[in-house]
Copies of this chain bind each other. A is one copy, B any other.
């Protein structure tokens, strides 16, 4: 079960002026399930995004990037689950474009004004005809207060839907943000995907929108890991409709930019953490704080070495304070001039190690007490600089193996 994460309440998800959402059942992988989402945008809305760095990126990722670069003005986003349209070669590209064309026909816009997203099984051909057949129903279903259904429609192996709204007052104007995401459910039968969509009614220039989504992603989605596998389809999209009565944000030095970035980052961080809390088989949510590093790169290196260590992750699953495993992971992280005698390791408020070994004050009972918690912070003070980094991950349980070892049939 998800770690300290409950389903969003539909009534608490706020419409964002200029965005309407419709869902439908295309029967891509199974029947009786909403598996297609259309997010329709008002004219003049701006969209920017961050995409997977995987060289085997899926066809919809390539097409979405190309359509964004075209700068025709994006009028809708189209998301399907059940099939990732990845590892599908030229046919996959044609299929992603055909899906966009089908929706463009219904909305009366150009295919290049649609951004396609897919998640699900990879190396299987996208059933474009099924999707096209479901699009009229999705378009007919389009409405502003449909974020909850949208969050549900993009789920694959997520146990709970992920959605949140925030409001922030900028220059006296109330700005609304609503975001949804789906998690790294890399299950039966597929490599799946992390998808996130955040919309706001603020107006912001296109270059600043891109800068903002990159910055927000760096401090949220780029700080989480479940198993270290980077999907072929990952995407985080930020939509700014400009429908609020606030002048366009045109400078990164403005207070308005800083406020909006903070709000976008807050929404993105909630969604990113929710993905970890609902990680496959997760029973613990682990915050990894690396402090006192020379630069962010070495902090993240050490943080990810801890976060990716199967030995560390299984020890947390077992609530076993086998904390030497954390020291070992710090040691092999690849920071070649690290002086291990100088660092200190804490588990929440408990000092575990210093001077190259177990702290004199450390008592196993204290470590055990913290390990029993469902939310735990690993804190490493490197004492060699002033930079810090924070990552979030989960433990590694029987269920992770069970879920990912399931047959695809």
> From residue A380, how far is it (CB to closest CB) to chain B in Å?
12
Stretch with Cβ within 8 A of B (4 or more), from A149-157, A171-179, A267-275, A317-325: A317-325
Question: Does A405 lie at the interface of the complex (its beta carbon under 8 Å from any beta carbon of B)?
Answer: yes
Question: Does A353 lie at the interface of the complex (its beta carbon under 8 Å from any beta carbon of B)?
Answer: yes
Whether A332 touches B53, Cβ cut-off 8 Å, given contacts A88-B358, A355-B90, A401-B396, is yes
> From residue A362, how far is it (CB to closest CB) to chain B in Å?
9
Copies of this chain, how many? 2
- Among residues of B, the one whose C-beta sits closest to the C-beta of A329 is B229
Q: Is the CB of B332 within 8 A of A54?
A: yes
User: Which residues of chain B are within 8 angstroms of A353 by Cβ–Cβ distance?
Assistant: 87, 123
User: Which residues of chain B are within 8 angstroms of A325 by Cβ–Cβ distance?
Assistant: 122, 186, 191, 229
Whether A89 touches B357, Cβ cut-off 8 Å, given contacts A55-B338, A327-B122, A332-B55, is yes
A333 vs B228: C-alpha distance in the bound complex, in angstroms?
11
> From residue A118, how far is it (CB to closest CB) to chain B in Å?
13
Which residues 383-405 of A have a CB within 8 angstroms of B? 396-398, 400-402, 404-405
Q: Is the CB of B191 within 8 A of A311?
A: yes
Question: Does A57 lie at the interface of the complex (its beta carbon under 8 Å from any beta carbon of B)?
Answer: yes
User: Which residues of chain B are within 8 angstroms of A329 by Cβ–Cβ distance?
Assistant: 229
Number of chain A residues whose Cβ lies closer than 8 Å to a Cβ of chain B: 69
- Residue among A230, A325, A336, A401 facing the most chain B CB atoms (10 A cut-off): A401
Q: Is the CB of A56 within 8 A of B328?
A: yes
A92 vs B407: C-alpha distance in the bound complex, in angstroms?
48
Which residues 309-367 of A have a CB within 8 angstroms of B? 309-311, 314-315, 317-318, 320, 322-325, 327-333, 335-336, 338, 340-341, 353, 355-358
Q: Is the CB of B357 within 8 A of A314?
A: no
A124 vs B121: C-alpha distance in the bound complex, in angstroms?
46
Question: Does A99 lie at the interface of the complex (its beta carbon under 8 Å from any beta carbon of B)?
Answer: no
Whether A328 touches B358, Cβ cut-off 8 Å, given contacts A322-B408, A398-B398, A404-B315, is no
User: Which residues of chain B are within 8 angstroms of A358 by Cβ–Cβ distance?
Assistant: 87-89, 123-124
Q: Which of B56, B328, B402 has a CB less than 8 Å from the CB of A327?
A: B56
Question: Does A12 lie at the interface of the complex (its beta carbon under 8 Å from any beta carbon of B)?
Answer: no
Q: Is the interface of A mostly helix, strand, loop or mixed?
A: loop
Q: Is the CB of B55 within 8 A of A91?
A: no
Question: Does A34 lie at the interface of the complex (its beta carbon under 8 Å from any beta carbon of B)?
Answer: no
Question: Does A189 lie at the interface of the complex (its beta carbon under 8 Å from any beta carbon of B)?
Answer: yes
By a beta-carbon cutoff of 8 Å, the part of chain A in contact with chain B is 52-57, 84, 86-92, 121-124, 186, 189-191, 227-232, 308-311, 314-315, 317-318, 320, 322-325, 327-333, 335-336, 338, 340-341, 353, 355-358, 396-398, 400-402, 404-408
Closest 7 A/B residue pairs (Cβ): A56-B331, A89-B357, A122-B324, A318-B405, A230-B332, A314-B404, A54-B331
25 contacts between A and B (CB under 8 A): A53-B332, A55-B330, A55-B332, A86-B324, A87-B353, A87-B357, A87-B358, A90-B356, A92-B356, A92-B357, A122-B325, A190-B324, A191-B322, A191-B328, A229-B309, A229-B325, A230-B328, A230-B331, A232-B328, A310-B404, A315-B405, A317-B401, A318-B404, A318-B407, A322-B408
**Further 10 A-B residue pairs, CB within 8 A, beyond A123-B358, A191-B324:** A56-B330, A91-B357, A122-B328, A123-B324, A189-B322, A227-B309, A232-B324, A232-B328, A310-B400, A310-B404
